[in-house]
Structure 1
Amino acid sequence: MLSASLGYPRIGANREWKKALEKYWAGGITESELHAELREIRLGNLKVQQSYGIDVIPVGDFTYYDHILDTAVMFGLVPQRFGWDGVNVDLPLYFAMARGNKGAAACEMTKWFNTNYHYIVPELKGLTPKLTRNRLVDAYREGNQELGIKGRPVLVGLYTFLKLSKGYTPEELPGWIDALLPLYGQVLRELAEEGAAWVQIDEPILSTTLEADDLVHIARIYAELGRLAPGIRILVQTYFEAVDHYAEVVKLPVDGIGLDFVHDGGGRNLQALEAHGFPADKVLGAGIIDGRGIWRVDLHERFDLLGRLRQVVSDERLIVQPSNSLLHVPVSAEREAALDPALRGALAFANEKLEELALLVRGAKHGIESITEECVASVWNREELGRIRGGAASGAAGVSALGPEQFARPSAFAERLAKQQQRWQLPLLPTTTIGSFPQTPEVRSARFKWRKGEWSAERYEQFIQAEIQSWIEIQTKLGLDVFVHGEFERTDMVEFFGEKLAGFAFTAGGWVQSYGSRCVKPPIIYGDVAFTAQMTVQETVYAQSLTGKPVKGMLTGPITILNWSFVRDDLSREEVAYQIALAIRKEVEALEAAGIGMIQVDEPAIREGLPLKRENWPVYLNWAVRAFRLATSTVQDVTQIHTHMCYSEFGEIMEAIHALDADVISIETSRSHGELISSFEERTYDKGIGLGVYDIHSPRVPTVDEMSGMIDRALRVLAPEQFWINPDCGLKTRKAEETIAALRNMIEATVQARAKYGAAAVKQ
């Protein structure tokens, strides 16, 4: 029996990876210095896994930005707008695909299955693939030569890669398989020549809902890869859910299958394994440690699961591993000494999970008595966590008392709309932003000094008010119609609220990668969630006092707080969502009582919570919609509820978005080049809507013509009277000069659109 890792966090124990990238982008280090810094981090990650005694260590999972982008670049799939010479993809071009440049918009970015990680979407239209450089050979050679690690290279599966790409029709799919198969075969042959014995081919697409044609394509792919590269053994790795077609998957002509025995729909993979057996000529990669959650396991319970697996698969054919790559959890819990000891003892980040894997394998080899002390500690840790979980019982009590009337606005949208039009008197195509303005070094420094006690609360409040006043003045000069206060007092859009609610805890170093160099520190929901005090009223009311234009109150919605947190594992996610919704509702009511008549409750993460199986979508969407409505349905008709969503594919859930019953929604569309707009050609949407007209995650400033084109396309299917004009997302990560220039162009595009689609005096 062996232990294995499927992937390790890229970012470094102290986010060294992020800092190196951002220094390079800012011109602070050279390309050679960046390579040197990232090499040190990459080798350090391998050393950590080696130090825990992990038998099978992955190589090639490290990236300079995103592993899907790496795969596209390795196969020469560079969109034509970047002007590639067809030879080498240098670092500026690589980052241009991810972030855009002055001459070309960035590639689309969207969520990686049902996680909070974002990948760069490959674009295939008009391209011919070719192998540019076998980066996996480089990764294998480095680990072998520098550390003596004969690693297992990790490659994104051909079918998963294609299903996550865009720019081809269903009829063209077989042709793309034919085009990529020889290149995948070449990658595998070169790995075998370098000495690699195994390759891990990640096919999480196998855990989604598949059709008969999908299975035919997948079987053909692996039969052909076996013929093209007979010198290397292939482990097909699935994760994030059970495989529906177990019998077909385990019969694939490969040497091993990796299955998730944690996130598998209540034990479906285990049930299939026990019912149908497992091929005697294959290795089973058994994902029995949660690669996405942060709670320590009960080693007794996991050892029992391992025992059931051993009844079907012999030890020499069993590899014990996490359920998926540890990319989705923080690096180490060592720094979390400030947490309650009961909570700290229950945490398992990446390094602690490696330790758990090693313990389970040791127990299997030498008997559970060899890890008795650790087993006792794992049970005690979970018992101690249970002791502190019940604090704010009002959250649980509030959920139990809910009635159906609490999930709906008193009046229909049409009735609310008439009252809101009368109150606000907005022009045609009203303009606004999504919420945040640039968090400059000065803003971050002020917050740091206040948190460290170097600044008094009064001094910090004065600083925040000065920032708010400055940006109210900027919005006035630009001519925006609906203002925001800028969120200068906030760190992360989830962490900020969690810090003010009962039931949350916060780590010192619990960072995970969200996209590119963007790292987030998800809160930990360990107990009952409850409202304790007003969270946003002071700053919003202050901003409103500075202008006669409406200022939106800005809140994060219950589903996003849920999906962007590490959630307790002793309650259903639905119940936790309702607890959060009740707490957010109190803040909505407080804003309204303070005179704030537009309130935006953001739900950018609503789609990423979708189960991978389509048949499970309705249940999730039902309670997700109910949670949003629970948070927003007690306001008066004249109060306008907004929401915002970004960087996911929303076309398939438009009915659920409509069911949220928000008066105005804003949705990202610029990176997807307006493709969501086609959804409105197929279904009617009668509420206010803003489709983002420029990409805020790129440093480039889009032209007036670009934004005008986005507006024109949207207004071919949406009525001007319902359309709002706004950026894709909050502007927190942008510089002030970029923000002002882009908003100025957005306003100019709006002025032209008003002249084109109706007199500026026409009221919404």
Structure 2
Amino acid sequence: MVKSYVTGFARIGEQRELKKVLENFWSGKVNAEEVQTTAKMLKTRHWNYQKDAGIDLISSNDFSFYDLMLDMIFALGVIPTRFAKFSGQQLYFAMARGADSAVAMEMTKWFNTNYHYIVPELNANSKFSLNSEKIIAEYNEAKANGIKTKINLIGPITFLALSKTTDDSCAFAHLDSVLEQYTKLLNEISKLDSEVVVQFDEPIFVTDKGDSLVDKIAPVYEKLTSVKGIKVIFMTYFEHALKAVNEVVKTKIYGLGLDFIWGEKNLAALEILAKSDVVLFAGVVDGRNVWKSNIDKKVELVKDIASKLGGKDFYIGSSCSLLHVPYTLKYENKLNSEIKSWLSFGVEKLSEIAIITKLVNDEKLNEKEVEIYTENKASANSRSNSSLIHDEAVAKRVANLTKFERDMSFDERIKVQKQTLNYGILPTTTIGSFPQTSEVRQVRNAFKKGLISKDAYEIDIKKYIDDCVKFQEECGLDVLVHGEPERNDMVEYFGEQIKGYAFSENGWVQSYGSRCVKPPLLFGDVSRPKPMTVEWISYAQSKTDKIMKGMLTGPVTILNWSFVRDDKPRAEIAKQLALCIYDEIADLQDAGIKIIQVDEAAFKEGYPLRAENIPAYEKFSVDCFKLSVASARPETQIHTHMCYSEFNDIIKTIEAMDADVISIETARSGNELLKIFKAVGYKQEVGPGVYDIHSPRVPSVQEQVEQIKALLEVLPKEQLWINPDCGLKTRKWEEVKPSLKNMTEAVKIVRSL
């Protein structure tokens, strides 16, 4: 017998209802009660979607107002002292977003996804105090709706493994204290029902770091499984967890979650599980991509798993939380019908799981399920034979490539650039985007819907660019940007102009907090029919005598922030994308643009979680970046930007990319990220973020002076650029203007010292 489960469900709302109410709350337009009302509506809807689809085991506590790791920090009561004056909801959001003089907690990527989590912040003296209110309330809320859920929690080992310490102490020194709180929590949970299933997310064990922590599994889970009335699921996802399996089967853990989509090697664990009492939770439907499962092939996979388990009962479900895919296709009315037939979003994946479960159990499908199954078979045939996917000209160009990198070394290039660009010490710039005001979004939407003419649209966009240029000149920035008012998203904007892409209307995915992205759908061979940015960058350059940066998104980021076809190697797809950027750089140069930024914000997040797979990823990623900028002449300065990343293990790879200038996000992590650049003797120029753009607070002149001085303790002034730590798209002008004015004033002060 096979039953069904979902690892976790998304929470932002199928039409971003949570995003909208949160942002209205933060701006003072609605009160806390309205936020709670929206949250209750969303949770009820999401539980019912799963119930109606026939999912056997549904989650609670997979909902969050900002981030599940932040929720766990809050539940454990381990609050950094700088937030001592805050309480309740104000405290929660201050930790996430910053407030007054309290800098927000560090944020970084959740494994190799585009989702960000709040990093737990510990020190040797950290104290823990349980606050179970949200967890208990959500379980009871689901129960009141007639749904008995499993409760999702971040596992204690993963929690500590992903924590940082501010005093170089060891996070695992707190293991006993953390376990005490988890045990208290389980004792409270055990009173909710005669038996409660608790899912502990322990994805750290799909990493090499996790392999070094497997000796902690038995002692930790011996304590957690000792609480009567609790059935513990040890959940992993994103890769294989073979070493952890060997330890889990020695414990009294009820269930073990393994990902069979992104961790195919987990198949080797089935022989071990067959001999144990541990119940398998098999992730067989892709929770990270949007293409329909081939149901017949999934049934074969599940039957193969069943055979290897020797007839044991088990569960099948999503490979990870459905947080990482859009909600539903039901609002997609403009997609090409053939391409739409290949897609499956969160709600649709529920039906796939339910149908696969029934087919494996030889149960009769209902009328709706028969229709879905029939369409699924037709879709699989259509996708394998569609003329939309294959482009012979693209394949031929890739096969005949001869030039893969620039003509001159960095040491030679930088001499030419210093002479021709004539910038001085501590040059100032921004990462690229300026605030996307409601007026700008309205103009874009009106033009997209055909409500205004192209001429009217261009007048408004040019006015925004004019205002951006004027402000930057008045502010005293050295290298300007055009502000990107014509762009909806740094990947979607380019995808819209590249053949081989499709776009959803409502395919939003949460990135962090209320921030959502709408990844484009890369379904076929890609090429650039015409220039994508030259017209707007050239216009902006015509408005100033200062250098205007061309702004492009790099091939690896376009790849990693798209939903990518799964019928072709990613390395080959990245090469096609690189050629699109190669052509664009050539055209920008011909138009007189002297500095071009090729953002690789998602470079690190695409890294495999296992060391054995890293060399192949690094090779194609570096090769494709170098290919994308290979058309740049020596005097053309190439910048790149990378978002929150740990650079220690990839600094040589970054160096190999051979960009002239790299800007990075360091504001929330001090200068720790920057020190590695000094340690390896990094030669290229670096723009560390001097203030955090993810927080609404305005950093003072003196604060930024001190930050720049701190940077100068690590790298020489000749090597440093000064900039915010990311694009300013999500901020408001009333925050951006004083922050940048303070930044340029701070640079003047430091230059004069």
Same fold? TM cut 0.5? yes
- Provide the rounded CA distance (Å) in 1 between the counterparts of 2:708 and 2:665: 13
**1:114 Cα deviation from its structure 2 partner:** 0.4
- 1:100–1:717 Cα change, 3 Å: same
- 1:685–1:175 Cα change, 3 Å: same
**1:753 Cα deviation from its structure 2 partner:** 1.4
- Provide the rounded CA distance (Å) in 1 between the counterparts of 2:340 and 2:613: 34
Query: 1:199 maps to what in 2?
Result: 198
Query: 1:447 maps to what in 2?
Result: 444
- Which of 233, 239, 243 is matched with 2:237 structurally? 239
Alignment of 1:5-154 (within 5 A): 5-84=6-85, 89-125=87-123, 126-145=125-144, 147-154=145-152
- Provide the rounded CA distance (Å) in 1 between the counterparts of 2:455 and 2:211: 65
Percent of aligned pairs sharing the same letter: 44
SS at match of 1:643: strand
Alignment of 1:502-513 (within 5 A): 502-513=499-510
**1:138 Cα deviation from its structure 2 partner:** 1.3
- Provide the rounded CA distance (Å) in 1 between the counterparts of 2:356 and 2:379: 17
In the alignment, is the contact (CA less than 8 A) between 1:559 and 1:605 conserved in 2? Answer: yes
Amino acid at match of 1:398: R
**1:45 Cα deviation from its structure 2 partner:** 1.0
Query: 1:309 maps to what in 2?
Result: 305
**1:375 Cα deviation from its structure 2 partner:** 4.6
Instruction: Say yes or no: does 1:568 pair with 2:569.
Output: no
Amino acid at match of 1:290: D
Amino acid at match of 1:321: G
SS at match of 2:126: coil
**Which deviates further from its counterpart, 129-138 or 230-239?**
129-138
- Provide the rounded CA distance (Å) in 2 between the counterparts of 1:134 and 1:234: 20
- Provide the rounded CA distance (Å) in 1 between the counterparts of 2:478 and 2:308: 66
- Which of 412, 415, 420 is matched with 1:415 structurally? 412
- Provide the rounded CA distance (Å) in 2 between the counterparts of 1:599 and 1:467: 21
SS at match of 1:198: strand
Structure 1 unaligned blocks of 5 or more: 757-764
- Provide the rounded CA distance (Å) in 1 between the counterparts of 2:704 and 2:392: 49
- Provide the rounded CA distance (Å) in 2 between the counterparts of 1:168 and 1:368: 57
Amino acid at match of 1:302: K
In the alignment, is the contact (CA less than 8 A) between 2:495 and 2:520 conserved in 1? Answer: yes
Instruction: Say yes or no: does 1:217 pair with 2:216.
Output: yes
Alignment of 1:478-557 (within 5 A): 478-557=475-554
SS at match of 1:366: coil
Alignment of 1:389-428 (within 5 A): 389-403=388-402, 406-428=403-425
**1:129 Cα deviation from its structure 2 partner:** 1.0
SS at match of 2:284: strand
- Provide the rounded CA distance (Å) in 1 between the counterparts of 2:372 and 2:71: 40
- Provide the rounded CA distance (Å) in 2 between the counterparts of 1:347 and 1:175: 46
**1:391 Cα deviation from its structure 2 partner:** 4.9
Instruction: Say yes or no: does 1:262 pair with 2:261.
Output: yes
Residue-by-residue CA offset, 1:505-530 (whole Å, 9 max, x unaligned): 00011110011101111000001010
- Provide the rounded CA distance (Å) in 2 between the counterparts of 1:710 and 1:544: 31
CA RMSD of aligned residues (A): 1.7
Give aligned pairs, total.
746
**1:210 Cα deviation from its structure 2 partner:** 3.8
In the alignment, is the contact (CA less than 8 A) between 1:392 and 1:502 conserved in 2? Answer: no
In the alignment, is the contact (CA less than 8 A) between 2:582 and 2:628 conserved in 1? Answer: yes
**1:11 Cα deviation from its structure 2 partner:** 1.3
In the alignment, is the contact (CA less than 8 A) between 1:342 and 1:388 conserved in 2? Answer: no
In the alignment, is the contact (CA less than 8 A) between 2:508 and 2:516 conserved in 1? Answer: yes
- Provide the rounded CA distance (Å) in 2 between the counterparts of 1:180 and 1:279: 32
- Provide the rounded CA distance (Å) in 1 between the counterparts of 2:393 and 2:84: 59
SS at match of 2:522: strand
In the alignment, is the contact (CA less than 8 A) between 1:298 and 1:375 conserved in 2? Answer: no
- Provide the rounded CA distance (Å) in 2 between the counterparts of 1:339 and 1:446: 22
SS at match of 2:548: coil
Amino acid at match of 1:93: L
Residue-by-residue CA offset, 1:365-419 (whole Å, 9 max, x unaligned): 225898776555323202212314435433322222223xx22211111111111
SS at match of 2:461: helix
Instruction: Say yes or no: does 1:322 pair with 2:340.
Output: no
SS at match of 1:714: helix
Amino acid at match of 1:3: S
**1:581 Cα deviation from its structure 2 partner:** 0.4
**Which deviates further from its counterpart, 587-596 or 76-85?**
76-85
- Provide the rounded CA distance (Å) in 1 between the counterparts of 2:114 and 2:430: 23
Query: 1:594 maps to what in 2?
Result: 591
SS at match of 2:224: helix
In the alignment, is the contact (CA less than 8 A) between 2:274 and 2:310 conserved in 1? Answer: no
**Which deviates further from its counterpart, 612-621 or 657-666?**
612-621
Residue-by-residue CA offset, 1:590-635 (whole Å, 9 max, x unaligned): 1001000100000010000000112222221111111111100121
Query: 2:426 maps to what in 1?
Result: 429
Query: 2:453 maps to what in 1?
Result: 456
**1:244 Cα deviation from its structure 2 partner:** 3.4
**1:171 Cα deviation from its structure 2 partner:** 6.4
- Provide the rounded CA distance (Å) in 2 between the counterparts of 1:369 and 1:475: 63
- Provide the rounded CA distance (Å) in 2 between the counterparts of 1:239 and 1:397: 38
**1:329 Cα deviation from its structure 2 partner:** 0.4
**1:84 Cα deviation from its structure 2 partner:** 4.5
SS at match of 2:190: helix
In the alignment, is the contact (CA less than 8 A) between 1:197 and 1:233 conserved in 2? Answer: yes
Query: 1:762 maps to what in 2?
Result: none
Query: 1:743 maps to what in 2?
Result: 740
Amino acid at match of 1:4: Y
- 1:4–1:263 Cα change, 3 Å: same
SS at match of 2:440: helix
SS at match of 1:206: helix
- Provide the rounded CA distance (Å) in 2 between the counterparts of 1:212 and 1:289: 25
- Provide the rounded CA distance (Å) in 1 between the counterparts of 2:535 and 2:568: 33
Residue-by-residue CA offset, 1:5-26 (whole Å, 9 max, x unaligned): 1111111111111111011011
- Which of 268, 273, 280 is matched with 2:270 structurally? 273
Residue-by-residue CA offset, 1:74-109 (whole Å, 9 max, x unaligned): 111111111247xxx411111111111112111111
Residue-by-residue CA offset, 1:557-583 (whole Å, 9 max, x unaligned): 001100000000100111110100001
In the alignment, is the contact (CA less than 8 A) between 1:277 and 1:312 conserved in 2? Answer: no
Alignment of 1:345-356 (within 5 A): 345-356=341-352
